[in-house]
A and B are shown apart, each in its own frame.
Chain A
């Protein structure tokens, strides 16, 4: 008597393989085609020559410098904040947790509008700052403030989670060995979470670099002052299309580099004894 075969039907298997291939190809093409299209709208010579355009150079410089300043502020303030937040319990902690995550789901235009309502020339705080001759809205500082508001959750969430995951045995051991809290933070906590922190920092930089909605609402689109690369792309839609393509390609290249860096740093795990 023949035993029943449990092998799948070859016809069905082929069909399943084809179905899976079509699915993967569709998703990949949907994501890749718009990016590829950018490269088809220019030539290497045109790309390189428009890189020298004053508008491109100005937007590139402003984007990189403001994003780096935003990142530095987020790291310097955010790292100790995330550490204290993860190691202590205090009333209203859940509210703070929610506020950290809020910019991730809040439309950036709303974030920019909220910043304007608070810090604008006639804003709740802005009107008093104005009395001292301090104007924030529609300045380069406003660009940085908008980037920090929108991009900081990427770093804060990552840092908070890394500090929570770190095995307390390391810090406890260091304490029994006579190390001060600062030495423990610098020699144990930070090195053991460095890979994840770097990954969060790179994501934050990428988000700050791509910031558009909050910036245009709170800082405007002033060339050389507040016109970052995404805003310059927006401006180019009504003017020089080639410049728009060049800046877009630049942003694509930087974004790719960021994702590669994130994948590289993410491989480094958190320490467990």
Chain B
């Protein structure tokens, strides 16, 4: 389970958010540009420090301002696909997928097996030896997803993961994320603009407005227009 209380004074408004995501649950964060969605993910991952707050993941204290705890990003075991999926352009597709496993010093044969398995699942095995910088936006997003999932994270966070994907790949990506989350029983947060994404993949939706969580409910109850969201 992920439990987080995050406070940070941003340039224009204070960010104040309480996040609770259960194992196997997918939470979608919706909101306008600059509302604070990506900032929340950055704070959970440790890339950005909250002013105050607490982050607990699977009974592990990742951040606690009162106790002076702040685990480094590299030890938090969070799979995070950033908005610009940032595949490493100088590495091949298989080297990209294997990057996190190598960084964690997994055994060589296990890295090769896992990388092959994830490339198969994301349908990028045929591109294994191609330099990632030469690929399309959609292919890069699939690589970024495979790379994040391959490290067996305790929390998966995806920032606008479907923007560069076509309809078919988006559907396949959603199926894959859903099956992974259900199989591994880990919490997942997806930042998205699209209502269709929320309805198709999320178990719960939170709308963020100027740093605060407004509407919080089931995707089926999501109002048709943003006017309906307080």
- Point out residues on A near B: beta carbons under 8 Å: 167, 169-170, 172-180, 183, 187-188, 191-192, 271, 273
Whether the Cβ atoms of A273 and B85 lie closer than 8 Å is: yes
Please indicate which of the listed interface residues B75, B77, B99, B147 has the most CB atoms of chain A within 10 Å of its own CB: B99
Whether the Cβ atoms of B89 and A174 lie closer than 8 Å is: no
What B residues does A191 contact at CB under 8 A? 90
Interchain CA distance A41-B75 in the complex, whole Å: 68
User: Known contacts A175-B74, A178-B103; is A169 also within 8 Å of B147 by CB?
Assistant: no
- Ordered by A's residue number, 26 sampled pairs between the chains whose C-beta atoms are within 8 Å are A167-B84, A167-B86, A170-B86, A173-B86, A173-B88, A175-B46, A175-B74, A176-B73, A176-B74, A176-B80, A177-B74, A177-B100, A177-B148, A178-B74, A178-B75, A178-B77, A178-B104, A179-B74, A179-B103, A180-B74, A180-B103, A188-B88, A191-B90, A273-B85, A273-B86, A273-B87
Please indicate which of the listed interface residues A180, A191, A192, A273 has the most CB atoms of chain B within 10 Å of its own CB: A273
User: Known contacts A176-B47, A176-B78, A192-B89; is A273 also within 8 Å of B100 by CB?
Assistant: no
What B residues does A187 contact at CB under 8 A? 99
User: Known contacts A175-B74, A176-B45; is A170 also within 8 Å of B88 by CB?
Assistant: yes
Answer yes or no: B151 CB below 8 A from chain A CBs.
yes
Whether the Cβ atoms of B84 and A174 lie closer than 8 Å is: no
What A residues does B90 contact at CB under 8 A? 191-192, 271
Interchain nearest-CB distance for A168 vs B (Å): 9
What B residues does A174 contact at CB under 8 A? 88, 99, 103
Chain B residues numbered 84-106 whose CB sits less than 8 Å from any CB in chain A: 84-90, 99-100, 103-104
What A residues does B45 contact at CB under 8 A? 176
Interchain nearest-CB distance for A183 vs B (Å): 6
Other than A176-B148, A178-B103, A192-B88, give 5 A-B pairs with Cβ distance below 8 A: A172-B86, A178-B74, A271-B90, A271-B133, A273-B87
What A residues does B30 contact at CB under 8 A? none
Interchain CA distance A202-B144 in the complex, whole Å: 35
User: Known contacts A180-B103, A188-B88; is A175 also within 8 Å of B73 by CB?
Assistant: yes
What B residues does A176 contact at CB under 8 A? 45, 47, 73-74, 76, 78-80, 148
What A residues does B77 contact at CB under 8 A? 178
Residue of B nearest to A173 (CB): B86
Residue of A nearest to B45 (CB): A176
Interchain CA distance A188-B89 in the complex, whole Å: 9
Whether the Cβ atoms of B86 and A177 lie closer than 8 Å is: no
Interchain nearest-CB distance for B59 vs A (Å): 20
For chain A, what secondary structure do more than half of its interface residues adopt (helix, strand, loop), or is it mixed? helix
Residue of B nearest to A192 (CB): B90
Interchain CA distance A173-B157 in the complex, whole Å: 12
What A residues does B147 contact at CB under 8 A? 177
What A residues does B89 contact at CB under 8 A? 192, 271
Chain B residues numbered 24-73 whose CB sits less than 8 Å from any CB in chain A: 45-47, 73
List the 7 closest pairs (A to B, CB-CB), nearest first: A177-B100, A273-B84, A169-B86, A273-B86, A179-B103, A175-B73, A176-B80
What A residues does B78 contact at CB under 8 A? 176
Answer yes or no: B115 CB below 8 A from chain A CBs.
no
Interchain CA distance A188-B87 in the complex, whole Å: 11
Answer yes or no: B145 CB below 8 A from chain A CBs.
no
Please indicate which of the listed interface residues A175, A191, A192 has the most CB atoms of chain B within 10 Å of its own CB: A175
CB < 8 Å: which of B46, B75, B82 contacts A173?
B82
What A residues does B75 contact at CB under 8 A? 178
Interchain CA distance A183-B91 in the complex, whole Å: 14
Interchain nearest-CB distance for A166 vs B (Å): 11
Interchain CA distance A173-B87 in the complex, whole Å: 8
Residue of A nearest to B78 (CB): A176
What A residues does B133 contact at CB under 8 A? 271
Interchain CA distance A167-B85 in the complex, whole Å: 12
Interchain nearest-CB distance for A12 vs B (Å): 48
Whether the Cβ atoms of A178 and B82 lie closer than 8 Å is: no
Whether the Cβ atoms of A169 and B82 lie closer than 8 Å is: yes
What A residues does B74 contact at CB under 8 A? 175-180
Interchain CA distance A183-B99 in the complex, whole Å: 10
User: Known contacts A179-B74, A191-B90, A192-B89; is A172 also within 8 Å of B82 by CB?
Assistant: yes
Chain B residues numbered 128-157 whose CB sits less than 8 Å from any CB in chain A: 133, 144, 147-148, 151
What B residues does A179 contact at CB under 8 A? 74, 99-100, 103
Whether the Cβ atoms of A177 and B84 lie closer than 8 Å is: no
Interchain nearest-CB distance for B189 vs A (Å): 13
